[in-house]
Amino acid sequence: MKALVYNGPGHKALEDRPKPEAQAPDDAVVRILKTTICGTDLHILKGDVATCAPGRILGHEGVGVVETVGPAVTAFRPGDHVLISCISSCGKCEYCRRGMYSHCTTGGWILGNEIDGTQAEFVRIPHADTSLYPIPAGADEEALVMLSDILPTGFECGVLNGKVAPGSSVAIVGSGPIGLAALLTAQLYSPAQIIMVDLDANRLAIGRQFGATDAVDSSGGDAAAQVMALTGGRGVDTAIEAVGIPATFQICQDIIAAGGTIANIGVHGVKADLHLEMLWSKNITITTRLVDTVTIPMLMKTVRSARIDASRLITHRFRFDKILDAYETFGRAADTKALKVIIEA
């Protein structure tokens, strides 16, 4: 089969690899129909994710058709159309029992990281019964790719951890795909103000189209001052960090109101300073999280009922044999205006 392989920092290639087989009784092998590229894949290619070794097939998102199942799989059969969670969960360990699937002792974020992932024609899914979700007949499978990772990540790590509430003020620092996913799902809680912060004018314009009340161009270095002006000098109740660099975490610290919450989504590859000398007296909360994907069933219902239009995040489409072009397009988003790309087998 063809697969996109990480060959060390800065190096990737489309290679021929053996088709995977079930290795455990609860494994399934899924034929990929549609997958995508995540910002985390770009972090891996930069060398920011030490757990991902050279030779790994990348990717942790997608929809497909079950090809084979192990003897312990009871919820799925060959031919079933399924959504692949970016998090593999056994459903039995201490962390899974607490709903912290990302810390599953035999799973977690392993696809495209510690085991081969979904940017291939076939993928092996451990703990299939609790790591796959059935796709209802007639569902928009392309839109559902957004439920593998980006939509639950924006929702769980940003909106839920950030305690977004009716009438509250929210700033989302970073208007890339994950920030926009947080924007779409934050509106389920009716905040009074959602401020998008970014360097890219196009992404700020998209943020307004998606429902942001305000847009702040951070290219001049005065983003915090602009946010404070928009909030009457008070700051925001929720600041969502959606990039993963020191500068954006600093903006969140500068704009958080007393009693507010800084919710970190971004994947940080280098250290960021925490200014407790400025924050110690402000009664704030700082949260971190790796997505657990516990909200996939709920989000699937909201997408199918058109409460959230996940397809708006998709800007480009490629055949699988053009996946290197897809990476080029996604990696140059400022020039190509790419959000999420769909790669179709």
Residue range 229-259, pLDDT digits in tens: 999 999 999 999 999 999 999 999 999 999 9
Number of domains in the chain: 2
| pLDDT of 345 strictly over 90 | no
Give yes or no: residues 277 and 167 share one domain.
Answer: yes
Give yes or no: residues 328 and 271 share one domain.
Answer: no
Give yes or no: residues 281 and 308 share one domain.
Answer: no
- Which CATH number belongs to the domain containing residue 99 in this structure? 3.90.180.10
Residue among 253, 238, 280, 25 nearest 128 (CA): 25
Least confident of 198-202, 265-269, 286-290, 322-326: 265-269
Q: How far, in Å, are 7, 38, 95, 149, 251 from residue 129 at the CA level? A: 31, 24, 17, 18, 41
Q: What does pLDDT average to over the chain?
A: 97
Percent of the chain predicted with pLDDT > 90: 97
> Counting every residue, how long is the chain?
345
The residue among 272, 287, 302 that closes a domain is 287
Give residue 1's pLDDT: 97
Give residue 22's pLDDT: 96
Give yes or no: residues 22 and 87 share one domain.
Answer: yes
Q: What is the pLDDT of residues 162-202, one digit of tens each?
A: 999 999 999 999 999 999 999 999 999 999 999 999 999 99
Give residue 30's pLDDT: 98
Give yes or no: residues 251 and 165 share one domain.
Answer: yes
The band of 70, judged by pLDDT with boundaries at 50, 70 and 90, is very high
Give yes or no: residues 87 and 6 share one domain.
Answer: yes
Give yes or no: residues 133 and 177 share one domain.
Answer: no
The residue among 287, 311, 336 that closes a domain is 287
The residue among 266, 287, 308 that closes a domain is 287
- Which CATH number belongs to the domain containing residue 158 in this structure? 3.40.50.720
Strand 12-16, strand 28-36: pairing:
unpaired
Least confident of 55-59, 156-160, 303-307: 303-307
Domain that holds residue 282: 153-287
Give yes or no: residues 208 and 322 share one domain.
Answer: no
Give residue 166's pLDDT: 98
Give yes or no: residues 231 and 269 share one domain.
Answer: yes
Give yes or no: residues 70 and 185 share one domain.
Answer: no
CA separation for the pair 118, 190 (Å, rounded)? 35
Give yes or no: residues 169 and 236 share one domain.
Answer: yes
Over residues 128-144, mean pLDDT: 96
Could you write out the three-class secondary structure of 196-218?
EEECCHHHHHHHHHCCCCEEEEH
Long-range contacts of 321-328 (CB under 8 A, 24+ apart): 321/2, 321/14, 323/4, 323/14, 323/119, 324/4, 324/12, 324/14, 326/37, 327/4, 327/12, 327/37
| pLDDT of 269 strictly over 90 | no
Give yes or no: residues 224 and 118 share one domain.
Answer: no
The band of 149, judged by pLDDT with boundaries at 50, 70 and 90, is very high
Over residues 94-98, mean pLDDT: 97
